[in-house]
Structure formats: C-alpha cells, structure tokens
A and B are shown apart, each in its own frame.
Chain A
Amino acid sequence: MGQEKILLEHTPAARKVLAAYLAVSGTVLLLMMTLGLLMRLAQGSLVSLPADRFYESLTVHGTGMVGVAGMGGAAILWYFLGRHVRLNVPVLAINLVAFIVGAALILGAAFIGGFAAGWTFLFPLPANSLGQWSEHAAAMHLSGLLLIGTGFLLFHLDTGRAILSKYGSLARALGWPYLFGRSDETPPAVIVASTMVLIVNTLGLVSGATVLAISLVNLYLPGFAIDPLLAKNLIYFFGHVFINITIYMAIIAAYELLPLYTNRPWKVNRPFLVAWTAATVLVLVAYPHHLLMDFNMPRWLLLVGQISSYISGLPILVVTGYGALMIVFRSGMRWTTTTALIMVGVFGWSSGVIPAIIDATIMVNTVMHNTLWVPGHFHTYLLLGQIALVLAFMAHFSQGADWSKVRLNAWGFWLFLIGGLALTQSFLYSGKQGVPRRFAEYLPDWVGGAQVGALAALMVVTGTGVLFAAYLLKLPRVMRAS
C-alpha cells in the first residue's frame, strides 16, 4: 500500500472540527433516517401517524437530509483540499455552528410550531397554511435555512480564497491551461472538483438566499410578493444545484482514497478536465427538469432541461464511474469498510443516473412526475451514492494510521447495501405503479409497496447505526493519536 500524499498536514484543531462534522452528520443522518422509516411505516398502515405529524416529519426529513449530505460532503472536500491549499479552520467551524443552530430552528419550527411546507417551501405555501402553522413558525424554518446557506457560502468563499491564492484564477484551477495546450501541468483532482463546487454552489446559494429572503418578508408583508413560477425556478435552481453539489463534493473521496487503497494513480487527464468543466455548466442548466409539468415555462428551457440531463449523465458514467472501475480492476485491493462503501457510492451515483434521466424525458415525466419514482432515483444516488461515500470517509477518518489493516464491518455494510437496494427498488416500483410521493395516507392498493419499503428502511437504519457506532467508538483513540 502506498502512503497518503500530504502537502499540508492537518492541525489537531482541524481534525477535531472535521471529527465534529462527521459526528453531527451521522447523528442527524440517523435521526432523519428514523423519520423516513416512520413515514414508510405510516404509509404501510403499520403505525398510526397523524397527517400533521407526517408532513412535519416529511419537511424535516427532506431538509435535514440535504443538510446532512452537505455537511458530509463539505467534510470530505475540506479534508482533501486542505492538503493542497491553506484553509481557514474558524470558517470551517462557523459553518458547523451555523448548521447546528439552523437545524435546531428547523426542528423547532416543525415539531413545536407545526411548520410543514416541505423542503421545497413553494411560494406562497409557507404563508398559506390554513391554520396549520403560524407565520412565526414559517419564519423560524426559513431563517434556519438561510443561516445554513450562509454558513455554506462562507465555507465556499474560504475555499475560493485559498484556491485563488495558489492558482491565480478559476480557469487555472479547472485545468484549462492544460486543456488548451498552454501548460503541461494539471491541478490535482481535488482542486478541479473543489473549483467546480465553488462556482456552482455559490450561484445556487445566492439563488436560494434570494427566494428565502423574499418569502420571509412576504410572511409579514403579504403585499411583498414574488411571481410563483419565478419563485419555483429560484427554489429548484437552488435545491437542484445544492443537492448535486453534495455528490460532487463526496466523490472526491473516491478520487483520493481509491489510489491509496489500490496503490494506483487516478490520473487527471484531458477527459477528466473536460468532464469537470462540462459538469460545471450542465449542473447549472439541467435544473428545468424539475419544472417539466409547468406548462407555462418557456418551451426551449424545458427542452434544455431534458437534453442537458441526458448529457450530464455522460461524465458521471464515462469518467468517474468508469475511472473507479478501471483503478480497482485486478488491483488486489483489500475490502475494508472504506473501499466497499466507496464502490457502493460510485455504483449508487452511476446507476441512479439511469432512472433520473428517464424521468427527465418530458413524455415520461408526464406520468412519473411527483410519483415515488422520484424518491426512487434520488435515494439511489443520494443514499447508495452520496451517503455511502460519506460513511466510507467516516470509516477511513476514524482508522487513523491503521487504515490499511482494518477489515470490513460486515453487518453494517450488508444491512446498509441490501436495505438500500430494496428501499430504492421499492420506491421505483411504486412510482411505476403511479403511487404519489408526499402522501400521508395511502389507498389500499398502495400499502404493500410501503410495507416492503418500511422493512428495507429498517435495514438501512440498522446498518447505518452499526457503521456510525463504529466511527464513534474509534474516534477518541484516533483523536488522541493525532
């Protein structure tokens, strides 16, 4: 096994903050998964959950999972980027504090204030609950989101400052001089990926902050309104970009750790750089695939949504998925919790692209939009993709210097994988049957799929719990050693 290539050693303070990121992410992840399990149990008529509690749980689950994915991805990005450029530890800590306070506000808004407008907070629903929640509860939720977004904006601004101070321009950090034949040197993969993340998510966060601020004012000054279709564009641009970026942050773990465990390089070459530059554009322009059933959208924009969704799958499959398979093939790589979960993560991302692209086909979307097909595809590339990568990184981080000697946490891994596959496939099958998403109560024909989903979700929660417990148990020893 090779040694990790470290240009800058992380300080004990940085390692503590990163450890806290992962601990908070794991804790919130398990809580959100439990809410997901509870909702599937209720839809399967296995427990009784009043509609108001269901939709509060739905709101918290959706928002919280996006936040967890963001925090886990940020930890991975910072850990590997911080070996190449000088990042600011207090900014990293501020983002964590903003997340914790924001998450507390969101939890309070839902379970004390009754707020349940979904993660989408589609204008003007936050201000129109018909008595289910007050404007103060809505304000609490939107403020929590705004706070979390601000923390992430600071996080990206710091990575941008550090990258620019070393590489001089975003174009150089994306490897354009090499791409256009003006240089023989390529930046490391983590620099390229972090630059793409910086560009795309900054735009997404600004869009989100804009619509959040307008929605907040609208709660108290109803005359201060925004066009609902414009608001939906801003919300989905923000949501689409942010959730995609969590995967692009997490995939850095594959770029950095597979070479370590296989003792083979992940070469940054022309196709790699083209793929990441293309992804920078495609993630931004693909968001209209969320609005294909808004017939008043400009038709050309909806066509852009379909076509760019098709194209955006290519870099994922041909560069990252293929590259991971290539580096592992006949490498003699040992199967540890980290390597096994990385391969699951790459598989989840690559295979999740398939049902996502199919749903982005306008004529298919007409009979699939807002059915369980949608959580089917996004749970594939988020649960089996992004979260698997975060859990893989957690396992690696908690091994310290012993990373090459550990074994596979078989119970945790197989429960997570089998449960995840069963959960995502049960969603996809139910979506094919036309079962709506976001329904607190099901018609009798739909209950069976939810029961299968509940059993699968139970396996996922248990497997994740086992993996996270292993992280927590190993952490004190590793922190002392650092």
Chain B
Amino acid sequence: MQQIAWVTTLILMSSIAAVFVWVAWSTRFTADYGPIVDKAYAFRRVLFGALLTVSAVATAGTIGRLPYAHAANDAGVQVVTAIGYQWHWDLGATEVKAGRPVEFRVTAADVTHGFAIYDADLKLVTQTQAMPGYTNILQHTFDRPGIYKILCLEYCGLAHHGMSAELTVSG
C-alpha cells in the first residue's frame, strides 16, 4: 500500500513539475494571448472531466475497504484489549495466532494516544486512535508470525516516543 501511494505520488508530482518547467521555459518566447486562451480553455474542460473521472474511480475503488468494524461475537476471533497510559501500553494479551482474526479493543486511560502496529521490518501494518472514553475496534489478521511492535502515533507528552510494547504472533 505504502509503495503504491509513494510511486503514484512521485509520478503525479513529477508530471506537474514537468509542466511547470515547460511553461517556465516557454517564457523565452512571446505569443498572442487570445489564441492561447482559446486552446487552454478547451483543454481545461477535458482536464477537468479527466480529473473528475479519476477521482470518482479512486473513490469507488477504495471506499469499500474501510478499516472500521463493530465488535465481533464470533468465537473464532481473538480479542485483545489495549489501554494507553502515559507512557505505556496495557495489553490484555501479548500473544496471538497468525491466520486468525484479531480484534483489538483500544482505549486510553488519560490522554489520546495512537495505537499502531509495526512488523519486524518496521513496516506500519495498521492503526487506530486510543481516546479516553471511547473504545475503537480494530480488526486485523496477521499473515506472518513474528514479533510486532506497538508504538504510539499520537503525541502524548514527554516520553511519547518511548511508549512501545511487543506482540508475539505465533504460527
């Protein structure tokens, strides 16, 4: 996901940059503005339609894959409670099985924290916020066994960066 986002961003930003460089280079020349405006307005309608279409397709392609979930009552789901404190995590379990859904019930005891799961390669796998007075349900199925890190991704005070825990995912 991150790779796709980055490559897409690079391609689109580079394209915009290329157009700006081209236009900057064109100022070495002069031309009547009237014909430029006529052509540019016609192309703008095409561009607008194309961007609107891309936006609609991107929305349709992503809107069905939302991370929001309700608490499951399925016996096969592994439930882990997670409570954020300044500056540590209190996890209801520190070991879960790979290949079976895990339901994290995430909240905070004092201030808002961010509950983020990183794999052994420090790749961000998924996350939700941990807010006092609310329980966020985060469902995830781990594909690979290993030691995962829980980090806080919402700034919560002096030792925010040190607020971590480990979760073992066994095969």
- Docked complex Cα distance between A446 and B123 (Å): 12
B17 in the interface (beta carbon within 8 A)? yes
Q: How far is the CA of A440 from the CA of B71 in the complex (A)?
A: 35
Contacts of A441 in B (CB 8 A): 161-162
- Say yes or no: A314-B33 contact (C-beta < 8 A), given A128-B110, A361-B58: no
Q: Is B93 in the interface zone, CB < 8 Å from A?
A: no
B3-46: which residues lie under 8 A (CB-CB) from chain A? Answer: 3, 5-6, 8-9, 12-13, 16-17, 19-20, 23-24, 26-31, 33, 36-37, 40, 44
A256 at the interface (CB under 8 A from B): no
CB pair B5–A432 under 8 Å, yes or no, is yes
A368 and B23 contact, Cβ closer than 8 Å, known pairs A129-B157, A306-B63: no
Q: Could you give, for residues 345-365 of chain A, a 1 whenever the CB lies within 8 Å of some chain B CB and a 0 otherwise?
A: 011001100110011011110
**Per-position contact with B for A322-343: 1 when CB-CB < 8 Å, else 0?**
1001101111110100000001
Alpha-carbon distance A122/B112, docked complex (angstroms): 7
The listed residue (B8, B111, B124, B157) touching A367 by CB distance below 8 A is B124
Interface Cβ pair total, 8 Å cutoff: 221
A351 touches B17 (CB 8 A): yes
Across the interface, which residues of A come within 8 angstroms of B133, CB to CB?
227-229
Query: Considering only CB atoms, which chain B residue lies closest to A442 in the complex?
Result: B161
| Assembly CA distance A332 to B160 (angstroms) | 53
Of the residues B17, B86, B110, B122, contact of A443 by C-beta under 8 Å? B122
A228 to B131, Cβ gap below 8 A? yes
| Beta-carbon contact of A326 and B40 below 8 Å | yes
- A84 CB–B CB distance under 8 Å: no
CB distance from A131 to the nearest CB of B (A): 9
Report Cα–Cα, A332/B65, bound state, in Å. Answer: 49
Say yes or no: is A401 at the interface (Cβ < 8 Å to chain B): no
Q: How far is the CB of B60 from chain A (nearest CB, A)?
A: 11
Assess whether B132 is in contact with A354, with CB atoms less than 8 Å apart. Answer: no
* Category for how many chain B residues contact A: 35 or more
Residues on B with beta carbons closer than 8 Å to the beta carbon of A429: 6
A343 touching B24 by the CB < 8 A rule? yes
B134 adjacent to A367 (CB under 8 Å) = no
- Which partner residue on chain B sits nearest A293 by CB separation? B129
Whole-angstrom distance between the alpha carbons of A116 and B27 in the complex? 48
B114 at the interface (CB under 8 A from A): yes
Q: Is residue B73 within 8 Å, beta carbon to beta carbon, of the partner chain?
A: no
Q: What chain B residues lie within 8 Å of A335 (beta carbons)?
A: 24, 27
Contact B36–A329 (Cβ < 8 Å): yes
User: Is A217 an interface residue when CB atoms closer than 8 A count as contact?
Assistant: no
CB distance from A224 to the nearest CB of B (A): 16
Contacts A369-B127, A370-B154 given; does A128 touch B2 at CB 8 Å:
no
Query: Is A436 interfacial (CB 8 A cutoff)?
Result: yes
Contact of A369 among B37, B62, B153 (CB under 8 A): B153
Query: Is A477 in the interface zone, CB < 8 Å from B?
Result: no
Establish whether residues B37 and A51, one from each chain, have CB atoms under 8 Å apart when the complex forms: no
Asked whether, in the complex, the Cβ of A351 is within 8 Å of the Cβ of B111, the reply is: no
Contact with B along A395-439 (1 / 0, CB 8 A): 000000000000000000000000000000000110011101011
- A455 on interface, CB distance cutoff 8 Å: no
- Whether, in the assembled complex, B98 has its beta carbon less than 8 Å from a beta carbon of chain A, the answer is no
Report the nearest A residue to B32, measured CB to CB. Answer: A330
- B2: chain A residues within 8 A (beta carbon): 367-368, 432-434
Q: Which of A52, A120, A318, A330 contacts B26 (CB 8 A)?
A: A330
Q: Are A363 and B131 in contact (CB under 8 A)?
A: no
Instruction: Check A124 for interface membership: any CB of B closer than 8 A.
Output: yes
The proximity string for A residues 295-337 relative to B, scoring 1 for CB distances below 8 Å and 0 otherwise, is 1100100110011001101100110011001101111110100
Q: B9 touching A363 by the CB < 8 A rule?
A: no
Given contacts A117-B157, A228-B112, 8 further A-B contacts (CB under 8 A): A51-B158, A55-B157, A55-B160, A129-B157, A293-B127, A295-B137, A322-B40, A358-B5
A-B contact pairs, 17 of them (CB 8 A): A55-B158, A128-B111, A129-B157, A229-B133, A229-B134, A293-B127, A294-B131, A295-B128, A296-B131, A314-B48, A314-B55, A325-B20, A362-B63, A370-B154, A428-B9, A432-B6, A433-B2
Q: Which residues of B contact A (CB under 8 A)?
A: 1-3, 5-6, 8-9, 12-13, 16-17, 19-20, 23-24, 26-31, 33, 36-37, 40, 44, 47-48, 51-52, 55, 58-59, 62-63, 65-69, 86, 110-112, 114, 116, 118, 122-129, 131-138, 151, 153-162
